[in-house]
Chain A
Amino acid sequence: MQQSNLYILIFSVALTVVLGGLLSIAAVGLKPLQTKAVELDTKKQILSSVMEITSEMDVIGTFNTRTKSVAVNVEGELVEKDDEGATIVPEKINIEKESKKDSENKVLPVYLYMNEKDTTKVEAYIFAMFGTGLWDKIWGYVAVAPDLTTIKGISMDHKAETPGLGARITDKEVKDRYKGKQLFDSNGYLVGIEMKKGERGDSSLFDEHEVDGMSGATLTANGVNEMLLKYIGFYQAYIDKVKAGETVALN
């Protein structure tokens, strides 16, 4: 009797319902915590382009008090509503999705890192980036000083770069190589910053548009170079407007 088709059917249905129910409860119950974890992770990454993140730091609190955010399009105009008329929250913009859109439809976040004492003074503009490394996607944030050409810091992350080689883009030592480098030349043309092939270990060998490479990870470095140049390009209209002294309204 136990092996009849009906028994098997009933058993399978019951098992599916029980297991499915348990998983649904778990998924729904853990959802708020997971959303929070993702939010914390994003804000940690944004902030890590301008400061050291320590484990005991109040990341969300610091982010909320020190940064303001706006969303801009490639024309450099502020965007407040999306196509459906809903208000855009810059922190919630999915850069990966935006990277697939045509450039005129792109909406990208800008985070303004404000001075600790004078909260009307911008200390750094933080731009988002997204690109491809050797194996899979890479992304990051680049913080630019108020002169809008000097790099204050950079934070990068990756999905599947080779540990010890391309994955070193998350190392402090590699990220620090970008500090003080220039995005634009003295005539105001966008040059970008090129991570060179090979690793020479001597920062004095490189000019203000170059950084030392990562040994064995030239293809990841190429991806980083391309990502940086492309995304600063998308932000260029906004950068030009800020440079020209146009008041960029803040919410």
Chain B
Amino acid sequence: MSTETVEQQEVQEVEVKETESLLSKRRRKIMSDPLNDDNPITIQVLGICSALAVTVKMMPTLVMALAVIFVIVFSNLIISILRNVIPNRVRIIVQLAVVASLVILVDQVLRAYMYDVAKVVGVYVGLIITNCIIMGRLEAFAMGNKPWDSFLDGLGSGFGYSWIILAVAFFRELFGSGSIFDFKVFEAIGWTSYQANGLMVSPIGAFIILGLIIWVQRYKNGYVEH
């Protein structure tokens, strides 16, 4: 690895003490950062495409979120375990191969056990392969950190992604279809004449909600783009 380490300057190497507990303060920070201060969608603005595409209803969104969490956690873990034997020159291809295999696995399982959902999210599950969040975490974190840390980082980033798309889906389904998880909310409270908002169903609705979430979050955190 001697001559090519220059390429890995971005890698966040952190000194680790031998006796560190499994959920030390530093590790909890690895996990909690992506949830808010370093959120992959709202701060790093990665993975926007899927945030727009799959968030029409809660159920497919939930499945998509779980799929992404699974893929990111295990690709982080696998790449981190292999990080010292992966040849540097082909590392991106190796990362891609691992991610793609995990995604195909998820797709196959969905087709077997949740065919109804697979019909809806099918295309987008395949696109997890190109989700920038995953490749970004592998390159920036898993290639330079130990397996357990990478595992936690994957969990953090996965949940960071998930809560945002679930929040977007919540508002889109509520206003666009008048339901939550296909349960007709407005009818249940007696408002039967609710006119579904077509804008929320189209990707534009997701843009607007995402924009509002980013606005609120950055206002609270005081985060400024440099």
Question: Which residues from chain A sit less than 8 Å from chain B, CB to CB?
Answer: 2-3, 7-8, 11-12, 15-16, 19, 22-23, 26-27, 30, 33-34, 37-38, 40-41, 162-165, 216
Alpha-carbon separation in the docked complex, A33 to B111 (Å): 8
Q: Is B116 an interface residue (CB 8 A)?
A: yes
Instruction: Name the B residues within 8 Å of A3 (CB-CB).
Output: 1, 3-4, 87-89
Identify the stretch in B22-30, B96-104, B148-156 within 8 Å (CB) of chain A at 4 or more residues.
B96-104
Whether the pair B198, A8 counts as a contact (CB closer than 8 A) is no
Chain B stretch 72-99: residues in CB contact (< 8 A) with chain A: 85-90, 93-94, 97-98
Question: Would you list the 9 A-B pairs with minimal beta carbon distance, nearest first?
Answer: A164-B201, A37-B115, A33-B112, A30-B112, A8-B87, A19-B101, A34-B112, A34-B111, A163-B56
Contacting residue for B90 out of A8, A23, A164, CB 8 A: A8
Q: Do most interface residues of chain A lie in helix, strand or loop, or is the interface mixed?
A: helix
Whether the pair B85, A2 counts as a contact (CB closer than 8 A) is yes
Whether the pair B1, A2 counts as a contact (CB closer than 8 A) is yes
Contacting residue for B87 out of A2, A22, A38, A162, CB 8 A: A2
Alpha-carbon separation in the docked complex, A33 to B86 (Å): 36
Besides the contacts A26-B105, A40-B115, what 13 more A-B pairs have beta carbons closer than 8 Å?
A2-B87, A3-B1, A3-B3, A3-B4, A8-B87, A11-B85, A16-B97, A26-B109, A27-B108, A30-B111, A34-B108, A38-B115, A164-B176
Q: Is B202 an interface residue (CB 8 A)?
A: yes
Instruction: Give the distance to chain A from B82, nearest Cβ to Cβ, in Å.
Output: 9
Residue of chain B at shortest CB distance from A37: B115
Interface size, chain B (Cβ < 8 Å) = 32
Instruction: Name the A residues within 8 Å of B98 (CB-CB).
Output: 19
Alpha-carbon separation in the docked complex, A74 to B93 (Å): 52
Whether the pair B108, A30 counts as a contact (CB closer than 8 A) is yes
Alpha-carbon separation in the docked complex, A12 to B89 (Å): 11
Alpha-carbon separation in the docked complex, A34 to B93 (Å): 30
Q: Is B196 an interface residue (CB 8 A)?
A: yes
Whether the pair A23, B87 counts as a contact (CB closer than 8 A) is no
- Offer 14 A-B interface pairs, CB within 8 angstroms, sorted by A: A3-B4, A3-B88, A12-B93, A15-B97, A23-B101, A26-B108, A30-B109, A33-B113, A34-B111, A37-B113, A41-B115, A164-B56, A164-B176, A165-B198
Whether the pair B89, A164 counts as a contact (CB closer than 8 A) is no
Chain B stretch 159-200: residues in CB contact (< 8 A) with chain A: 176-177, 196, 198
Instruction: Give the distance to chain B from A39, nearest Cβ to Cβ, in Å.
Output: 10
Alpha-carbon separation in the docked complex, A6 to B4 (Å): 18
Alpha-carbon separation in the docked complex, A112 to B14 (Å): 69
Instruction: Give the distance to chain A from B20, nearest Cβ to Cβ, in Å.
Output: 28
Instruction: Give the distance to chain B from A19, nearest Cβ to Cβ, in Å.
Output: 4
Instruction: Name the B residues within 8 Å of A12 (CB-CB).
Output: 90, 93-94
Instruction: Name the A residues within 8 Å of B116 (CB-CB).
Output: 41
Known: A27-B108, A30-B111, A163-B56. A11 touches B86 (CB 8 A): yes
Alpha-carbon separation in the docked complex, A41 to B88 (Å): 46
Instruction: Give the distance to chain B from A227, nearest Cβ to Cβ, in Å.
Output: 19
Whether the pair A162, B101 counts as a contact (CB closer than 8 A) is no
Whether the pair B89, A8 counts as a contact (CB closer than 8 A) is yes
Whether the pair B94, A23 counts as a contact (CB closer than 8 A) is no
Instruction: Name the A residues within 8 Å of B85 (CB-CB).
Output: 2, 11
Instruction: Name the B residues within 8 Å of A15 (CB-CB).
Output: 94, 97
Whether the pair A164, B196 counts as a contact (CB closer than 8 A) is yes
Instruction: Name the B residues within 8 Å of A2 (CB-CB).
Output: 1, 85, 87
Whether the pair B89, A37 counts as a contact (CB closer than 8 A) is no
Instruction: Name the A residues within 8 Å of B87 (CB-CB).
Output: 2-3, 7-8, 11
Hey, what's the 0/1 contact readout for B122-149 against A, CB within 8 Å counting as 1? 0000000000000000000000000000
Instruction: Name the A residues within 8 Å of B1 (CB-CB).
Output: 2-3
Instruction: Name the A residues within 8 Å of B202 (CB-CB).
Output: 162, 164
Alpha-carbon separation in the docked complex, A246 to B177 (Å): 48
Whether the pair A37, B101 counts as a contact (CB closer than 8 A) is no
Contacting residue for B104 out of A16, A23, A38, CB 8 A: A23
